[in-house]
A = this chain, B = another copy of it.
Amino acid sequence: MRVLITGVGGFVGRNLARHLLAAGDRVSGTYVDDRPALPGLAAADLYEADLLDPAALARVLRAADPEAVVNLAGLSHVGESWQRMSDYFRVNVLGTENLLRAAAGRRVVIASSAEVYGAVPAARQPIAEDEMVDPRTPYALTKAAAERLAFAHGAVVARSFNLVGPGQAPTFALPAFAAQLAAIARGEQEAVLKVGNLSARRDFVHVDDGAAAYRLLAAAGRAGEIYNVASGRAPSIGEALERLMAISGVPARVEPDPERMRPVDLPLLLGDNRRLRNLGWEPQRSLDDALADLWETVRPRREVPAPGA
């Protein structure tokens, strides 16, 4: 299968590209600014193309001629979206619209987010795809709007819950914890770990399982259909932190930091993944696997003396 990934240099994009290449797919990808120079991506065809540039998108679609497009380009930080509302609208909504137009006639999978579900009462969780959307943040608003455009163009919508794994930016909670633990282990930070709201419960999915879900949807997702990408379990962020601290073996005192609290934080987001399971998907990795893989990429290495030193 020939698959084009927009935002191939991002956290999910890189992992999806690796997953597709390992499965024998032909992979192309778009990036903005810096060309991603990543091990395992050498076999992918990379194009610099901004979603806000329809002419560039048309060129990429012609050159790559994909059978399916997975749109992972976008701005994805809920907290930041309050300050950068207009940027989030442009990239996530206008960018998606440009891509849907450029890819007309091909299968397109739009990456949306569980954040669009908003404050679903615990009694109606795990959340099924037919739950009415309830966007409570600018990020969620832009994702919910992009979904409507996806439906108008007959695209497939993937609503990802919290993807976790190596390579996620430390503006997100778990990578931020891992980076702090690594700094503590290196003696660069006193043994105090600054945290935001630990009581929020989230449905964590290993990014490799997420990649498998996107591949499946690129191959077999139904036009105009929504698919939750969810594990079906929702530990608290505090529980995930405890697991990460145990995996890292780095002792630290946990301290709340008002700077890390968000204006709106949903208490629980737990996904019903039956629709994706019915398509043949099954999560293969645990939260511990994801945390171990994350820690492996940031943990301090013992210095190996250079030969002859």
Q: What is A's interface to B at a CB cutoff of 8 Å?
A: 85-86, 89-90, 93-94, 97, 118, 132-138, 141-142, 144-145, 148-149, 152-153
Give me 17 other A-B pairs in contact (C-beta within 8 A), A138-B138, A141-B142 excluded.
Answer: A85-B135, A86-B118, A86-B133, A86-B134, A86-B135, A86-B136, A89-B141, A89-B144, A89-B145, A90-B133, A93-B145, A93-B148, A97-B148, A141-B141, A141-B145, A145-B148, A152-B152
User: Could you tell me the distance in whole angstroms from the C-beta of A92 to the nearest C-beta in chain B?
Assistant: 10
User: Could you tell me the distance in whole angstroms from the C-beta of A124 to the nearest C-beta in chain B?
Assistant: 15
Tell me if A85 and B137 are in contact (CB < 8 A).
yes
User: In the bound complex, how far is the Cα of B198 from the Cα of A21, in angstroms?
Assistant: 59
User: Could you tell me the distance in whole angstroms from the C-beta of A144 to the nearest C-beta in chain B?
Assistant: 6
CB closest residue in chain B, given A116? B89
CB closest residue in chain B, given A88? B141
Residues of B within 8 A of A89 (CB): 133, 135, 141, 144-145
Contact of A149 among B85, B132, B134, B152 (CB under 8 A): B152
User: In the bound complex, how far is the Cα of B137 from the Cα of A135, in angstroms?
Assistant: 14
Residues of B within 8 A of A90 (CB): 132-134
Of A138, A141, A149, A152, most B-chain CB atoms within 10 Å: A141
Residues of B within 8 A of A133 (CB): 86, 89-90, 94
Residues of B within 8 A of A145 (CB): 89, 93, 141-142, 145, 148
Residues of B within 8 A of A142 (CB): 141, 145
Shortest 3 CB-CB contacts between residues of A and residues of B: A145-B145, A152-B152, A86-B134
User: Could you tell me the distance in whole angstroms from the C-beta of A137 to the nearest C-beta in chain B?
Assistant: 7
Question: Can you list 17 pairs linking A and B with CB atoms under 8 Å apart?
Answer: A85-B141, A86-B134, A86-B135, A89-B133, A89-B135, A89-B144, A90-B134, A93-B145, A94-B133, A94-B148, A97-B148, A138-B138, A141-B145, A145-B145, A145-B148, A148-B149, A149-B152
Contact of A85 among B136, B152, B153 (CB under 8 A): B136
User: In the bound complex, how far is the Cα of B80 from the Cα of A264, in angstroms?
Assistant: 16
Residues of B within 8 A of A138 (CB): 85, 138, 141
Tell me if A144 and B85 are in contact (CB < 8 A).
no
CB closest residue in chain B, given A86? B134
User: Could you tell me the distance in whole angstroms from the C-beta of A266 to the nearest C-beta in chain B?
Assistant: 11
Residues of B within 8 A of A153 (CB): 152
User: In the bound complex, how far is the Cα of B133 from the Cα of A145, in angstroms?
Assistant: 15
User: Could you tell me the distance in whole angstroms from the C-beta of A22 to the nearest C-beta in chain B?
Assistant: 36
User: Could you tell me the distance in whole angstroms from the C-beta of A285 to the nearest C-beta in chain B?
Assistant: 33
Residues of B within 8 A of A132 (CB): 90
Residues of B within 8 A of A97 (CB): 148
User: Could you tell me the distance in whole angstroms from the C-beta of A154 to the nearest C-beta in chain B?
Assistant: 11
User: Could you tell me the distance in whole angstroms from the C-beta of A136 to the nearest C-beta in chain B?
Assistant: 6
User: In the bound complex, how far is the Cα of B96 from the Cα of A149, in angstroms?
Assistant: 13
User: In the bound complex, how far is the Cα of B149 from the Cα of A118, in angstroms?
Assistant: 22
Residues of B within 8 A of A141 (CB): 85, 89, 138, 141-142, 145
